[in-house]
Amino acid sequence: MKIGVFDSGLGGLTVLTALTRALPSQDFVYLGDNANAPYGWKAPTEIYELTIAGVERLFREDCGLVILACNTASAVALHDLQVNWLNPAAHRVLGVFVPVIEHLTRRDWGDNTPPTHTGLRDVALFATPATVRSGAFPRELHFRARDVTVAPQACTGLVEAIEAGDLDRAAEVARDHVAALLARLPAPQSAVLGCTHYPLVEAAFRAALPSATTLVSQPELIAASLGDYLKRHPRFAGGTGAVRYLTTGDPAIVGTRAAVFTGAPVAFEAA
Protein backbone atom coordinates (compact mmCIF):
# COMPACT_ATOMS: atom_id res chain seq x y z
CA MET A 1 0.00 0.00 0.00
CA LYS A 2 1.15 3.53 -0.72
CA ILE A 3 2.12 5.80 2.17
CA GLY A 4 1.63 9.53 1.77
CA VAL A 5 4.17 12.07 2.97
CA PHE A 6 2.82 15.60 3.32
CA ASP A 7 4.74 18.82 3.86
CA SER A 8 4.06 22.50 3.46
CA GLY A 9 6.97 22.69 1.04
CA LEU A 10 10.18 20.80 0.40
CA GLY A 11 11.45 20.14 3.92
CA GLY A 12 9.61 16.83 4.04
CA LEU A 13 12.02 15.54 1.41
CA THR A 14 14.56 15.08 4.22
CA VAL A 15 12.07 12.70 5.86
CA LEU A 16 11.21 10.98 2.58
CA THR A 17 14.90 10.33 1.90
CA ALA A 18 15.25 8.63 5.29
CA LEU A 19 12.04 6.66 4.74
CA THR A 20 13.04 5.31 1.32
CA ARG A 21 16.47 4.38 2.65
CA ALA A 22 14.99 2.49 5.61
CA LEU A 23 12.03 0.99 3.69
CA PRO A 24 13.26 0.47 0.10
CA SER A 25 10.35 -1.76 -0.95
CA GLN A 26 7.64 0.59 0.32
CA ASP A 27 5.61 2.77 -2.08
CA PHE A 28 5.41 6.48 -1.23
CA VAL A 29 3.60 9.54 -2.58
CA TYR A 30 5.05 12.90 -1.60
CA LEU A 31 2.89 16.05 -1.63
CA GLY A 32 4.38 19.49 -1.11
CA ASP A 33 1.92 22.35 -0.67
CA ASN A 34 4.36 24.75 -2.25
CA ALA A 35 1.63 27.10 -3.45
CA ASN A 36 0.86 27.93 0.19
CA ALA A 37 4.28 27.60 1.80
CA PRO A 38 5.52 28.48 4.31
CA TYR A 39 3.02 27.53 7.03
CA GLY A 40 5.07 28.96 9.89
CA TRP A 41 3.40 32.37 9.85
CA LYS A 42 -0.18 31.26 9.15
CA ALA A 43 -3.12 31.24 11.55
CA PRO A 44 -4.05 27.90 13.14
CA THR A 45 -7.37 27.70 11.29
CA GLU A 46 -5.64 28.13 7.93
CA ILE A 47 -2.96 25.56 8.79
CA TYR A 48 -5.70 23.09 9.76
CA GLU A 49 -7.65 23.64 6.52
CA LEU A 50 -4.55 23.33 4.35
CA THR A 51 -3.45 20.19 6.17
CA ILE A 52 -6.87 18.59 5.71
CA ALA A 53 -6.77 19.44 2.00
CA GLY A 54 -3.31 17.90 1.63
CA VAL A 55 -4.25 14.74 3.49
CA GLU A 56 -7.44 14.34 1.44
CA ARG A 57 -5.40 14.66 -1.75
CA LEU A 58 -3.14 11.85 -0.64
CA PHE A 59 -6.12 9.71 0.32
CA ARG A 60 -7.29 10.10 -3.27
CA GLU A 61 -3.94 8.61 -4.32
CA ASP A 62 -4.94 5.49 -2.35
CA CYS A 63 -2.62 6.25 0.53
CA GLY A 64 -4.00 4.42 3.54
CA LEU A 65 -1.46 6.05 5.85
CA VAL A 66 -0.19 9.64 5.70
CA ILE A 67 2.84 11.05 7.50
CA LEU A 68 2.67 14.76 8.28
CA ALA A 69 6.34 15.48 7.56
CA CYS A 70 5.74 19.04 8.70
CA ASN A 71 6.19 20.01 12.33
CA THR A 72 3.89 23.00 11.98
CA ALA A 73 1.04 20.84 10.68
CA SER A 74 1.78 18.19 13.30
CA ALA A 75 1.81 20.74 16.12
CA VAL A 76 -1.19 22.80 15.06
CA ALA A 77 -3.52 20.46 13.16
CA LEU A 78 -2.83 16.80 13.93
CA HIS A 79 -4.72 16.41 17.22
CA ASP A 80 -7.96 17.97 15.97
CA LEU A 81 -7.60 16.15 12.66
CA GLN A 82 -7.32 12.79 14.41
CA VAL A 83 -10.08 13.44 16.96
CA ASN A 84 -12.67 15.37 14.96
CA TRP A 85 -12.16 14.50 11.29
CA LEU A 86 -10.31 11.26 10.64
CA ASN A 87 -12.00 7.86 10.31
CA PRO A 88 -9.26 5.62 11.78
CA ALA A 89 -10.94 2.49 10.47
CA ALA A 90 -10.26 3.69 6.93
CA HIS A 91 -7.08 5.76 7.19
CA ARG A 92 -4.34 6.76 9.61
CA VAL A 93 -2.42 10.03 9.90
CA LEU A 94 0.79 10.27 11.93
CA GLY A 95 2.90 13.26 12.89
CA VAL A 96 6.59 13.85 13.48
CA PHE A 97 6.67 14.88 17.15
CA VAL A 98 6.01 11.42 18.57
CA PRO A 99 9.33 9.77 17.58
CA VAL A 100 11.32 12.72 18.96
CA ILE A 101 9.49 12.77 22.31
CA GLU A 102 9.77 8.99 22.64
CA HIS A 103 13.50 9.30 21.93
CA LEU A 104 14.03 12.09 24.47
CA THR A 105 11.97 10.57 27.29
CA ARG A 106 12.69 6.87 26.57
CA ARG A 107 8.96 6.26 26.97
CA ASP A 108 6.54 4.76 24.49
CA TRP A 109 3.77 7.06 23.29
CA GLY A 110 1.13 4.69 24.65
CA ASP A 111 2.58 4.87 28.16
CA ASN A 112 -0.02 6.96 29.99
CA THR A 113 1.47 6.68 33.45
CA PRO A 114 2.25 9.98 35.24
CA PRO A 115 5.37 11.93 34.22
CA THR A 116 8.59 10.65 35.72
CA HIS A 117 12.17 11.78 36.17
CA THR A 118 13.78 10.62 32.95
CA GLY A 119 17.16 12.30 33.32
CA LEU A 120 16.11 14.93 30.80
CA ARG A 121 16.71 18.49 32.00
CA ASP A 122 17.08 21.39 29.57
CA VAL A 123 15.81 21.08 25.99
CA ALA A 124 16.21 23.69 23.26
CA LEU A 125 13.56 23.61 20.54
CA PHE A 126 14.30 25.27 17.20
CA ALA A 127 11.07 25.51 15.19
CA THR A 128 8.81 27.72 13.11
CA PRO A 129 6.84 30.53 14.80
CA ALA A 130 3.57 28.58 14.44
CA THR A 131 5.06 25.45 16.01
CA VAL A 132 6.39 27.49 18.93
CA ARG A 133 3.06 29.32 19.38
CA SER A 134 1.16 26.03 19.49
CA GLY A 135 2.98 24.92 22.63
CA ALA A 136 2.48 21.31 21.47
CA PHE A 137 6.06 20.12 21.92
CA PRO A 138 6.59 21.21 25.56
CA ARG A 139 3.05 20.12 26.45
CA GLU A 140 3.58 16.58 25.16
CA LEU A 141 7.04 16.41 26.69
CA HIS A 142 5.76 17.47 30.11
CA PHE A 143 3.08 14.78 29.98
CA ARG A 144 5.92 12.25 30.14
CA ALA A 145 8.93 13.85 31.81
CA ARG A 146 9.14 15.82 35.06
CA ASP A 147 11.34 18.82 35.80
CA VAL A 148 12.26 19.54 32.20
CA THR A 149 12.84 23.05 30.95
CA VAL A 150 11.96 23.62 27.29
CA ALA A 151 13.36 26.76 25.68
CA PRO A 152 11.72 27.37 22.29
CA GLN A 153 13.31 29.50 19.60
CA ALA A 154 11.13 30.65 16.71
CA CYS A 155 13.51 30.56 13.75
CA THR A 156 12.12 33.34 11.59
CA GLY A 157 13.53 33.49 8.08
CA LEU A 158 15.17 30.06 8.14
CA VAL A 159 12.64 28.05 6.12
CA GLU A 160 12.45 30.85 3.55
CA ALA A 161 16.24 30.89 3.08
CA ILE A 162 16.37 27.10 2.72
CA GLU A 163 13.45 26.96 0.26
CA ALA A 164 15.19 29.65 -1.79
CA GLY A 165 18.28 27.45 -1.97
CA ASP A 166 20.48 30.00 -0.20
CA LEU A 167 22.16 27.64 2.26
CA ASP A 168 24.92 30.12 3.14
CA ARG A 169 22.28 32.60 4.26
CA ALA A 170 20.35 29.81 5.98
CA ALA A 171 23.43 28.79 7.95
CA GLU A 172 23.91 32.39 9.05
CA VAL A 173 20.26 32.60 10.15
CA ALA A 174 20.62 29.32 12.06
CA ARG A 175 23.68 30.58 13.91
CA ASP A 176 21.87 33.79 14.87
CA HIS A 177 18.97 31.81 16.32
CA VAL A 178 21.31 29.55 18.28
CA ALA A 179 23.00 32.63 19.75
CA ALA A 180 19.60 34.06 20.75
CA LEU A 181 18.63 30.83 22.48
CA LEU A 182 21.94 30.39 24.28
CA ALA A 183 21.49 33.85 25.76
CA ARG A 184 18.48 32.37 27.60
CA LEU A 185 19.68 28.78 28.06
CA PRO A 186 23.48 28.68 27.92
CA ALA A 187 23.96 24.92 28.21
CA PRO A 188 21.03 22.90 26.86
CA GLN A 189 21.30 19.18 27.45
CA SER A 190 19.51 18.46 24.16
CA ALA A 191 18.57 20.56 21.14
CA VAL A 192 15.75 19.54 18.81
CA LEU A 193 15.61 20.60 15.17
CA GLY A 194 11.82 20.88 15.12
CA CYS A 195 11.37 21.50 11.42
CA THR A 196 12.12 19.06 8.63
CA HIS A 197 13.87 21.80 6.65
CA TYR A 198 16.52 22.29 9.31
CA PRO A 199 18.60 19.14 8.67
CA LEU A 200 19.98 20.93 5.61
CA VAL A 201 21.84 23.29 7.94
CA GLU A 202 22.37 20.81 10.75
CA ALA A 203 26.12 21.42 10.61
CA ALA A 204 25.58 25.13 11.34
CA PHE A 205 23.42 24.28 14.38
CA ARG A 206 25.96 21.72 15.57
CA ALA A 207 28.88 24.12 15.28
CA ALA A 208 27.05 26.92 17.10
CA LEU A 209 25.80 24.78 20.00
CA PRO A 210 27.95 23.71 22.95
CA SER A 211 29.82 20.48 22.25
CA ALA A 212 28.10 18.79 25.20
CA THR A 213 24.63 19.43 23.75
CA THR A 214 23.02 16.42 22.07
CA LEU A 215 21.50 17.46 18.75
CA VAL A 216 18.29 15.66 17.80
CA SER A 217 17.34 15.66 14.12
CA GLN A 218 14.12 14.04 13.00
CA PRO A 219 14.40 12.11 9.70
CA GLU A 220 16.13 8.92 10.93
CA LEU A 221 13.97 8.82 14.08
CA ILE A 222 10.82 9.09 11.97
CA ALA A 223 12.01 6.36 9.61
CA ALA A 224 12.76 3.99 12.48
CA SER A 225 9.42 4.77 14.09
CA LEU A 226 7.53 4.11 10.84
CA GLY A 227 9.34 0.80 10.45
CA ASP A 228 8.13 -0.25 13.90
CA TYR A 229 4.62 1.00 13.12
CA LEU A 230 4.43 -1.07 9.94
CA LYS A 231 5.42 -4.20 11.85
CA ARG A 232 2.43 -3.59 14.12
CA HIS A 233 0.14 -2.53 11.25
CA PRO A 234 1.27 -4.62 8.27
CA ARG A 235 -1.81 -3.72 6.20
CA PHE A 236 -0.08 -0.44 5.33
CA ALA A 237 3.19 -2.07 4.29
CA GLY A 238 4.39 -3.26 0.93
CA GLY A 239 4.91 -2.22 -2.65
CA THR A 240 7.69 -2.08 -5.19
CA GLY A 241 9.65 0.93 -3.97
CA ALA A 242 7.83 3.35 -6.29
CA VAL A 243 7.88 7.04 -5.34
CA ARG A 244 5.78 9.83 -6.85
CA TYR A 245 6.15 13.54 -6.22
CA LEU A 246 3.18 15.95 -6.26
CA THR A 247 3.05 19.69 -5.69
CA THR A 248 0.41 22.40 -5.51
CA GLY A 249 2.99 24.75 -7.01
CA ASP A 250 4.65 24.87 -10.41
CA PRO A 251 6.09 21.37 -10.96
CA ALA A 252 9.07 22.57 -12.99
CA ILE A 253 10.10 25.24 -10.48
CA VAL A 254 9.51 22.99 -7.47
CA GLY A 255 11.39 20.10 -9.09
CA THR A 256 14.41 22.32 -9.72
CA ARG A 257 14.39 23.68 -6.17
CA ALA A 258 14.15 20.15 -4.80
CA ALA A 259 17.75 19.60 -5.87
CA VAL A 260 18.83 21.52 -2.75
CA PHE A 261 17.31 18.68 -0.69
CA THR A 262 17.98 15.67 -2.90
CA GLY A 263 21.14 16.53 -4.80
CA ALA A 264 19.41 16.43 -8.19
CA PRO A 265 16.20 17.82 -9.72
CA VAL A 266 13.03 15.82 -9.04
CA ALA A 267 10.18 15.17 -11.48
CA PHE A 268 7.16 16.64 -9.73
CA GLU A 269 3.61 16.37 -10.98
CA ALA A 270 0.81 18.89 -10.50
CA ALA A 271 -1.42 17.96 -7.59
CATH number for 67: 3.40.50.1860
Question: Residues for the chain: how many in total?
Answer: 271
pLDDT at 108 (0 to 100)? 85
Task: Estimate the crossing angle of helix 218-232 against helix 97-105, to 10 degrees.
Answer: 100
196 labelled ligand-binding: yes
Measured CA to CA, the distance from residue 33 to residue 182 in angstroms comes to 33
71 labelled ligand-binding: yes
Residues 83, 164 within the same domain: no
Q: Which residues pair with 67 in a beta bridge?
A: 5, 94
Residues 224, 213 within the same domain: no
Whether 70 is catalytic: yes
Task: Choose, from 70, 130, 132, 209, the residue flagged as catalytic.
Answer: 70
Residues 200, 226 within the same domain: no
Measured CA to CA, the distance from residue 140 to residue 118 in angstroms comes to 14
Residues 149, 181 within the same domain: yes
Residues 125, 169 within the same domain: yes
Q: What is the pTM (predicted TM-score) of this model?
A: 0.95
Residues 224, 117 within the same domain: no
Residues 47, 119 within the same domain: no
Residues 204, 263 within the same domain: no
84 labelled ligand-binding: no
117 labelled ligand-binding: no
87 labelled ligand-binding: no
- Per-residue pLDDT for the chain (271 aa), expressed as one digit of tens each? 899 999 999 999 999 999 999 999 999 999 999 999 999 999 999 999 999 999 999 999 999 999 999 999 999 999 999 999 999 999 999 999 889 999 999 888 778 888 988 899 999 999 999 999 999 999 999 999 999 999 999 999 999 999 999 999 999 999 999 999 999 999 999 999 999 999 999 999 999 999 999 999 999 999 999 999 999 999 999 999 999 999 999 999 999 999 999 999 999 999 9
Task: Choose, from 5, 195, 208, 230, the residue flagged as catalytic.
Answer: 195
Measured CA to CA, the distance from residue 271 to residue 248 in angstroms comes to 5
Whether 155 is catalytic: no
Residues 59, 105 within the same domain: no
Residues 57, 142 within the same domain: no
Measured CA to CA, the distance from residue 65 to residue 57 in angstroms comes to 12
Residues 130, 234 within the same domain: no
Number of domains in the chain: 2
Identify the domain containing residue 162 by its residue range. 98-218
